[in-house]
């Protein structure tokens, strides 16, 4: 619902006074609202011939049609077996259906917390005198609610990934924005079962050549990425030819250069004084921490990426040439010093290099749009939600 701030505040107040407050008094009476009761979402159903029905939080759900399930599964399989659909089995929620009462579509108002503020969605079409369920002009458009439900899927996937942080790190991963919510949920489910090789296979199968090509195509709005496109195009060409030695050798040296040039580009660095990579990573964290209004999922992804870059395997060193190397992610020192470990130069690690660059680019976009006020174009990933 789009209206001036003052009108929106008045609308919320009237909405609360008319429906929410009476329902809370009916439920809790003189004892008052329990301290642990928080309204994350509220659905007010408005049947034509009966009083409003007010439901909070987990008291209601949404009906969907044609959800997309992993591995080509059909929803009927779960209905016939009585098994629940788990997060890692759900690719897309499908088409949202409007609320009903006794099988009839009804008007409703839906309030939900998006992580930063409350939003409200209302549908009063069924109350119009000429309402006809078969008329296209009365078609229910639930895309805004569907997008909110997708953010909930993101939150669930990130919550699982955060709990499995050490195991995720063990296979050379952080929380890449481009893997939300699937296949990240599937990867977390696999490592939770101790199936680390299966988790890696999920990553490889999902991030095929078209997926990686599409990722790289979104980086141009950021100047320092655009300037390096010859590197990325060469690396992408090698990746599509399964020549991962070349891909990783090209990409592993780009991260530090991107961070340095970008912080000069946005004015965080005023000079090109010599700085260690540790200092640059610290300064990059300072920049990204300035981004306002990031949803929790993206704050967690940002912190996960920064923590990953700030340690091994990315920054691993080796005092002895024959020391054992962590091959779960390409180490800049190992690759750039010319130490050869065959298990570093794999399709999996090539994919991870592209994912890391993509995650870095994502948060540079957030910064340039939300801190510097730039317009990066509608096709950028600056506001994916």
- Is residue 328 within 8 Å of residue 310, measured between CB atoms? no
Q: For residue 308, with 0-12 CB atoms within 10 Å meaning exposed, 13-18 middle and 19 or more buried, which class applies?
A: buried
> CA 207, CA 340: separation in Å to the nearest integer?
25
Residues 100 and 106: their CA atoms lie apart, in Å, by 6
Same domain, 269 and 129: no
Percent of the chain whose predicted confidence (pLDDT) is above 70: 94
pLDDT score of 204 = 97
Assess whether 22 and 127 both reside in one domain. Answer: yes
Q: In which band, very low, low, confident or very high, does the pLDDT at 383 lie, cut at 50, 70 and 90? A: low
Token pair recorded at residue 344: 């570093």
Residue 271 domain-assigned?
yes
Q: Who contacts 301 (Cβ-Cβ below 8 Å, separation ≥6)?
A: 158, 174, 175, 176, 177, 180, 359, 362
Establish if 200 belongs to a structural domain.
no
Domain check: are 242 and 363 in the same one? yes
Q: Do the domain assignments include residue 233?
A: yes
- Residue 172, in any domain of the structure: no
Secondary structure (3-state) at 260? helix
**135 and 217 together in one domain:** no
Are 132 and 40 found together in one domain? yes
Residue 89 belongs to some domain of the structure? no
Confirm whether 199 is domain-assigned.
Answer: no
Q: Does the pLDDT value for residue 379 go beyond 60?
A: no
Encoding tokens for residue 379?
């096709």
- For residue 78, count other CB atoms closer than 10 A to its CB: 15
Q: Sorting pLDDT into bands at 50, 70 and 90, what band is 76?
A: low
Q: How far is residue 264's CA from residue 258's CA, in Å, rounded to a whole number?
A: 10
Is residue 111 located within the same domain as residue 247? Answer: no
Domain boundary among 108, 139, 170: 139
Residue 354 pLDDT > 90? yes
**pLDDT per residue as tens digits for the range 306-321:** 999 999 999 988 888 8
Q: Are residues 347 and 213 in the same domain?
A: yes
In this predicted structure, what is the pLDDT of residue 221?
Answer: 96
* pLDDT, greater one: 79 or 17: 17
The domain of 119 spans 5-62+97-139
Comparing C-alpha atoms, which of 361, 341, 353 is closest to residue 250?
353
pLDDT tens for 193-202 read 999 999 999 9
pLDDT of 380 strictly over 70? no
Query: Of 95-104, 204-213, 240-249, where does mean pLDDT reach its minimum?
Result: 95-104
Question: Is the predicted pLDDT of residue 8 greater than 90, yes or no?
Answer: no
For residues 240 and 359, state if they share a domain: yes
- The pLDDT score that the predictor gives to residue 118 is 84
Is residue 163 over pLDDT 60? yes
Question: What are the phi and psi torsion angles at 10 (to 5°)?
Answer: -65, -40
Residue 270 pLDDT grade (very low, low, confident, very high; cuts 50, 70, 90): confident
Other Cβ atoms closer than 10 A to 207 = 22
Both 123 and 241 in one domain: the answer is no
Judge whether 342 and 334 are in contact, CB under 8 Å.
Answer: no
Residue 308 maps to a domain: yes
Domain end position, chosen among 139, 168, 196: 139
Q: In the listed set 107, 139, 171, which residue is the last one of a domain according to the structure?
A: 139
Is this prediction's pTM over 0.85? yes
- In whole angstroms, how far apart are CA 320 and each of 236, 313, 323, 336? 33, 16, 5, 16
Residue 205 — pLDDT band, cuts 50, 70, 90?
very high
**216/109 same-domain check:** no
Residue pointed to by tokens 């530090």: 256
Secondary structure (DSSP) of 181-213: TTTHHHHHHHHHTT-HHHHHHHHHHHS-HHHHH
The verdict on residue 55 lying in a domain is: yes
Say yes or no: 358 and 256 in one domain.
Answer: yes
Is residue 357 within 8 Å of 247, Cβ to Cβ?
A: no
Our count of domains for the chain comes to 2
Whether the per-residue pLDDT at 382 is higher than 80: the answer is no
End-to-end CA distance of the chain: 16
Per-residue confidence at 99, pLDDT binned at 50, 70, 90?
Answer: very high
Say whether both 361 and 280 belong to one domain. yes
């Amino acid at each position: 619902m789009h209206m001036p701030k003052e009108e929106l505040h008045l609308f919320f107040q009237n909405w609360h006074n008319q429906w929410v407050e009476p329902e809370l008094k009916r439920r809790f009476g003189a004892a008052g609202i329990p301290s642990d009761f928080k309204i994350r979402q509220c659905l007010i159903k408005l049947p034509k011939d009966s009083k409003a029905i007010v439901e909070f939080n987990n008291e209601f759900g949404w009906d969907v049609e044609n959800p997309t399930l992993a591995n080509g599964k059909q929803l009927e399989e779960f209905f016939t077996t009585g098994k629940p659909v788990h997060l890692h089995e759900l690719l897309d929620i499908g088409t949202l259906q409007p609320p009903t009462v006794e099988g009839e579509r009804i008007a409703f108002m839906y309030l939900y917390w998006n992580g930063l503020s409350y939003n409200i969605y209302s549908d009063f079409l069924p109350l119009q005198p000429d309402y006809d369920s078969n008329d296209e002009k009365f078609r229910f458009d639930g895309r805004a609610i569907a997008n909110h439900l997708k953010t909930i899927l993101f939150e669930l996937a990130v919550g699982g990934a955060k709990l499995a942080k050490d195991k995720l790190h063990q296979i050379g991963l952080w929380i890449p924005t481009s893997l939300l919510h699937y296949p990240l949920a599937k990867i977390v489910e696999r490592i939770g079962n101790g199936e680390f090789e299966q988790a890696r296979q999920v990553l490889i199968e999902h991030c095929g050549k078209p997926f990686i090509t599409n990722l790289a195509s979104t980086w141009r709005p950021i100047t320092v990425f655009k300037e390096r496109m010859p590197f990325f195009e060469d690396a992408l060409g090698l990746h599509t030819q399964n020549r991962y030695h070349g891909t990783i050798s090209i990409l592993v040296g780009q991260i530090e250069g991107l961070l340095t040039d970008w912080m000069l580009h946005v004015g965080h660095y005023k000079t090109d004084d010599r700085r260690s990579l540790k200092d640059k990573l610290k300064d990059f964290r300072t920049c990204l921490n300035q981004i306002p209004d990031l949803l929790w999922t993206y704050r967690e992804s940002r912190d996960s990426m920064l923590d990953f870059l700030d340690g091994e395997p990315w920054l691993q060193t080796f005092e002895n040439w024959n020391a054992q190397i962590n091959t779960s992610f390409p180490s800049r020192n190992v690759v750039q010093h010319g130490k050869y470990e065959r298990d570093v130069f794999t399709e999996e690690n090539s994919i991870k290099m592209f994912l890391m660059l993509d995650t870095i680019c994502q948060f540079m976009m957030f910064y340039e749009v939300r801190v510097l006020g730039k317009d990066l174009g509608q096709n950028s990933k600056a506001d994916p939600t």
